[in-house]
């Protein structure tokens, strides 16, 4: 185990910096953990809890907006455009609920939060289903086209009562004296007539009923006006007849239309009552269950955010305290260790100063010997490089000549190949000529046969002409003309025979010459075949010569390359030797510089010039001469020849290793040499 006295300077410094690094790392680790923990809590609050609370509150807000729209739909007498706006608002709020739902559902949930959410999902779905039922009932209510069915029912009952009273007055006027009454003639003056222009509906059935009622209502009041006029004129029978024929049918039709409209109004009232029961019953109950679970989820997330905030604050206080204590302890430890290391380093440097002076002298002697040997080696390497340059020049000339021979052989090989191709073409042409001559002979033979046929035809024609002449002579005067024709035919036959004989002679001469040409062509073809064979042999020989020349040129190039590489290596060796000599000189100068540095180090450590001079003199006076001699004879052993009276110095400072580390350039040059 390394003790404090035997530790090297590097280890002592490393221990000091290691302690400072450990303290710094501890402080950094504590700070990083605090920041990471705080960031995790902030992320938990900012990225999970706040979005969870926000999405849940949005869900509650939009759900309350849906409730408001549904309650508004339950108000009687609401205009159609207002009802349509409530439907649209409910749909938009439902979509907003789905968006908030998706945000919350994607966030992580705690063990306390997850069961409540699992209860909330079916409760929300139940409320959504009951809500849809309510909206469906509202749509059925809208189809009847009556905004306030209760009000319409009251009006219809009032209208019915008014017209019953009017009908009763008409009867009294017909059958009782002094029963005159005012009004009833104008169908627009009664309550029903005033109401008709203000009524509108999108229900086709109700619109038809109102239209039919308007017609019957007009007829009813017109009949009342007619009866009153006739009664005033004393025409009671005509008035009674008008009552039976006009008033009663119109009145029945009016009351029938009142009844039908009242039935639709009652149906709308029943639908509204059903919607009200659905809204106040299942919808309200489902919403209360949903809202209770939603409040629980919001409260859970708020509690988690509050807990995380409180934990972060407590941890921040704790980490501040730990960081302060660790910082104070680190400063005290670093100061103490720095003082101890400084004292130890000063003692060791004082002991090493004298040893460095001896080492510098040994390095100076060794560098002189290395410089001398390097200069001799550089001179020999320069002479060898000059010889190799001359050899390389001669080989380059030989390689150039060999490449020229190889190129000429290659060209001759190409010319021989071309000659061979030309001879092959000539041989092929002679073969074609032989074939043509043979065809000519065959054609001449066929022409000879044709000419023989022509001669036979001419001979027969001549005989026929003689026979014709004989017959013409027998005919006397009558056959003279025919005899002249026969004579001409005979002359033509003789001329044809003569021409055939001349043609035969010419063809026979041509055939003879064609046979001679065939013989000559055959002989020429044989000569060309012989030439082709000879040219092929010549081409093969030239190809072999070209290949051999190429291989020879390649071999010469390889030799030239090897010589060039040898020349390069030799030049590098010479340069390396010169660099080694230069490095040795530099090493000597560095040794002198090292002695000066040792003196300065002694002054720096001991703090007095007189002490440093005494130390240097003592060191030189006690230096063994055997070490100097060993340095001159064996420079490689200079590092091992330390003074015998300082064995403990090897634990703190290995001179051989430091010398090798300080002369890396010289070692590299010597290794290359």
Assign 249 a pLDDT band (cuts: 50, 70, 90).
Answer: very high
Same domain, 224 and 280: no
Can you give the pLDDT at residue 441? 73
Q: Quick one: 135 and 13 in the same domain? A: yes
Q: Are 398 and 558 in contact (CB under 8 A)?
A: no
Residues 327 and 430 in one domain: no
Note whether 255 and 163 are within 8 A (CB): yes
Residue 283 has pLDDT above 80, yes or no: yes
**The pLDDT of residue 619:** 43
- Residue 663 pLDDT grade (very low, low, confident, very high; cuts 50, 70, 90): very low
Do 221 and 187 contact (CB within 8 A), yes or no? yes
- Which residue shows structure tokens 């190039």? 557
362, part of any domain: no
Report if residue 612 sits inside a domain: no
Q: What is the pLDDT of residues 465-501, one digit of tens each?
A: 778 778 777 777 777 677 777 777 878 878 887 887 7
Displacement of CA 364 from its chain's centroid (Å): 67
Nearest partner of 176 among 239, 252, 244, 225, judged by Cα? 239
What does the pLDDT read at residue 256? 92
- % of the chain exceeding 70 in pLDDT: 73
Distances (CA, A) of 324 to 28, 32, 173, 314, 361: 12, 15, 115, 16, 55
Q: Which residue has the tokens 């590092």?
A: 639
Q: Are the C-beta atoms of 634 and 656 separated by less than 8 Å?
A: no
pLDDT in tens, 284-316: 898 888 888 888 888 887 777 777 777 766 766
Measure the CA–CA gap between 356 and 364, rounded to whole angstroms. 13
Lowest mean pLDDT: which of 52-61, 118-127, 437-446, 596-605?
Answer: 596-605
- Amino acid 43: pLDDT: 55
**Residue 351 falls inside a structural domain:** no
Return the CATH number at 469.
1.10.287.950
CA distance 316 to 305: 17
**Per-residue model confidence (pLDDT) at position 636:** 38
CA dihedral 289, 293, 299, 305 (to 10 degrees): -160
Candidate ranges 29-43, 228-242, 310-324; pick with highest mean pLDDT: 228-242
Domain check: are 396 and 495 in the same one?
A: yes
Same domain, 322 and 391: no
Residues 359 and 296: their CA atoms lie apart, in Å, by: 86
436 pLDDT above the threshold of 70:
yes
- Please report whether residue 109 resides in a domain: yes
The region of weakest confidence among 68-82, 315-329, 469-483, 654-668 is: 654-668
Could you give the number of structural domains in the chain?
3
Residue 370 lies in a domain: no
Is 296 within a domain? yes
Rounded mean pLDDT of 148-164?
86
Contact 210, 261 (CB under 8 A): yes
- In a domain, residue 597? The reply is no
Residue 320 CA to residue 318 CA, distance in Å, equals: 5
Per-residue confidence (pLDDT) for residue 40, from 0 to 100 = 56
Both 108 and 242 in one domain: the answer is no
Domain that holds residue 232: 149-269
Q: Is 429 left (phi over 0), alpha (psi -120 to 50) or beta?
A: alpha
- Mean residue pLDDT of the chain comes to 74
pTM (2 decimals)?
0.39
| Among 567, 582, 599, residue at a domain's last position | 567
> Is residue 308 within 8 Å of 124, Cβ to Cβ?
no
For 527, 535, 540, 541, 543, the CA distances from 416, given in Å and listed in that order, are 18, 7, 9, 10, 9
| Pair 264, 209: CB distance under 8 Å | yes
Output 416-421 pairs: Cβ under 8 A, ≥24 positions apart: 416/535, 416/538, 416/539, 416/542, 417/539, 419/535, 419/538, 420/532, 420/535, 420/536, 420/539
Answer whether residue 405 shows pLDDT above 80. no
The pLDDT score that the predictor gives to residue 661 is 47
* 656, pLDDT greater than 60: no
In this structure, the dihedral spanned by the alpha carbons of residues 92, 94, 100 and 105, taken in order and rounded to 10 degrees, is: -150
Name the more confident of 431 and 349: 431
d(CA 557, CA 392): 11
Closest to 155 (Cα-Cα) out of 163, 144, 167 = 163
User: Does 140 share its domain with 161?
Assistant: no
DSSP secondary structure code for residue 75 in this structure: S
285 vs 278: CA distance, rounded Å: 10
397 and 509, same domain (yes or no): yes
Q: For the chain, state the CA radius of gyration.
A: 69
Q: What is the per-residue burial (b if ≥16 Cβ within 10 Å, else e) of 287-325?
A: bebbbebbebbbebbeebbeebeeebeeeeeebeebbee
DSSP string, 609-651: HHHHHHHHHHHHHT--HHHHHHHHH-GGGTTT---TT-TTHHH
| Coil vs helix vs strand at 147 | coil
Asked whether the predicted pLDDT for residue 270 surpasses 70, the reply is yes
Q: Tell me, yes or no, whether 510 and 551 share the same domain.
A: yes
pLDDT of residue 646: 38
Token code pair at residue 36: 């990471």
CATH of the domain at 42: 1.20.120
Boundary-marking domain end, from 513, 533, 567: 567
Q: Is the pLDDT confidence value at 638 over 60? A: no
Q: What is the mean pLDDT of residues 217-226?
A: 90
Residues 351-379: tens digit of each pLDDT: 666 666 676 667 667 666 766 766 676 67
Residues 41 and 113 in one domain: yes
pLDDT average, residue stretch 498-526: 78
Residues 498 and 400 in one domain: yes
Neighbours of 421 (CB within 10 A): 12
**Looking at residue 73, what is its pLDDT?**
83
Q: Take residue 95 and report the two structure tokens written for it.
A: 């979509």
Domain assignment of residue 360, yes or no: no
Q: In 3D, which of 594, 592, 673, 587 has the Cα closest to residue 635?
A: 587
Q: How confident is the model at residue 50 (pLDDT cuts 50, 70, 90)?
A: low
**pLDDT over 60 (residue 671):** no
Clarify whether residues 432 and 387 are in a common domain: yes
pLDDT band of residue 626 (cuts 50, 70, 90) is very low
């Amino acid at each position: 185990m390394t003790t404090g006295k035997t530790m090297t300077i590097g280890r002592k410094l490393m221990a000091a910096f290691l302690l400072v690094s450990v303290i710094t790392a501890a402080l950094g680790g504590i700070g990083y953990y605090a920041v990471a923990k705080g960031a995790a809590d902030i992320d938990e609050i900012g990225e999970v809890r706040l979005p969870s609370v926000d999405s849940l509150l949005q869900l509650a807000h939009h759900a309350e907006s849906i409730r408001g729209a549904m309650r508004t739909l339950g108000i009687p007498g609401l205009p159609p455009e207002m009802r349509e706006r409530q439907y649209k608002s409910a749909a938009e709020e439902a979509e907003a609920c789905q968006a908030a739902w998706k945000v919350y559902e994607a966030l992580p949930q705690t063990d306390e939060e997850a069961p409540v959410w699992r209860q909330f999902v079916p409760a929300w779905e139940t409320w959504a289903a009951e809500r849809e039922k309510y909206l469906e009932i509202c749509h059925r209510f809208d189809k009847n086209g009556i905004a306030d069915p209760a009000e319409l029912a009251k009006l219809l009952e009032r209208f019915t009562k008014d017209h019953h009273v009017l009908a009763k007055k008409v009867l009294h006027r017909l059958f009782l004296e002094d029963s005159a009454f005012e009004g009833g003639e104008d169908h627009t003056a009664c309550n029903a007539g005033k109401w008709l222009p203000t009524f509108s509906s999108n229900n086709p059935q109700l619109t038809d009923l109102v239209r039919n009622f308007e017609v019957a209502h007009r007829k009813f009041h017109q009949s009342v006006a007619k009866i009153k006029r006739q009664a005033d004129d004393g025409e009671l029978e005509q008035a009674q007849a008008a009552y039976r024929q006009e008033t009663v049918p119109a009145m029945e039709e009016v009351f029938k239309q009142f009844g039908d409209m009242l039935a639709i109004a009652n149906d709308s009232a029943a639908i509204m009552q059903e919607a009200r029961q659905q809204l106040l019953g299942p919808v309200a109950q489902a919403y209360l269950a949903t809202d209770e679970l939603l409040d629980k989820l919001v409260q859970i997330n708020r509690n988690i955010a509050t807990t995380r905030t409180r934990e972060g604050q407590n941890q921040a206080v704790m980490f501040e305290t730990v960081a302060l204590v660790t910082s104070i302890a680190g400063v005290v430890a670093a100061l103490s260790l720095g003082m101890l290391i400084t004292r130890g380093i000063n003692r060791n440097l004082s002991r090493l100063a004298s040893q460095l002076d001896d080492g510098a002298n040994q390095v100076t002697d060794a560098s002189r010997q290395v410089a001398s040997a390097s200069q001799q080696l550089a001179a020999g390497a320069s002479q060898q490089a000059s010889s190799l340059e001359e050899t390389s020049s001669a080989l380059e000339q030989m390689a150039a000549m060999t490449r020229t021979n190889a190129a000429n052989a290659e060209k001759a090989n190409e010319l021989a190949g071309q000659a061979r191709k030309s001879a092959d073409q000539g041989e092929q042409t002679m073969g074609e000529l032989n074939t043509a001559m043979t065809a000519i002979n065959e054609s001449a033979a066929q022409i000879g046969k044709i000419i023989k046929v022509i001669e036979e035809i001419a001979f027969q024609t001549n005989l026929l002409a003689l026979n014709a002449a004989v017959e013409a002579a027998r005919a006397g005067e009558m056959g003279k003309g025919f005899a002249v024709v026969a004579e001409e035919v005979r002359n033509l036959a003789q001329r044809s025979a003569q021409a055939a004989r001349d043609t035969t002679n010419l063809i026979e001469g041509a055939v003879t010459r064609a046979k001679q040409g065939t013989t000559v062509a055959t002989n020429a073809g044989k000569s060309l075949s012989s030439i082709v064979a000879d040219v092929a042999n010549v081409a093969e020989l030239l190809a072999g010569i070209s290949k051999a020349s190429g291989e020879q040129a390649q071999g010469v190039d390889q030799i030239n390359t090897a010589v060039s590489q040898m020349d390069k290596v030799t030049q590098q060796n010479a340069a390396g030797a010169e660099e080694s000599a230069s490095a040795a000189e530099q090493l000597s100068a560095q040794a002198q510089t090292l002695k000066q540095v040792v003196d300065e180090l002694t002054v720096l450590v001991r703090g007095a010039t007189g002490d440093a001079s005494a130390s240097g003199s003592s060191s030189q006076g006690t230096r063994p001469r055997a070490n100097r001699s060993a340095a001159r004879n064996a420079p490689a052993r200079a590092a091992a020849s330390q003074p015998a009276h300082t064995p403990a110095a090897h634990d703190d400072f290995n001179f051989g290793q430091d010398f090798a580390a300080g002369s890396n350039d010289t070692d590299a040059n010597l290794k290359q040499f």
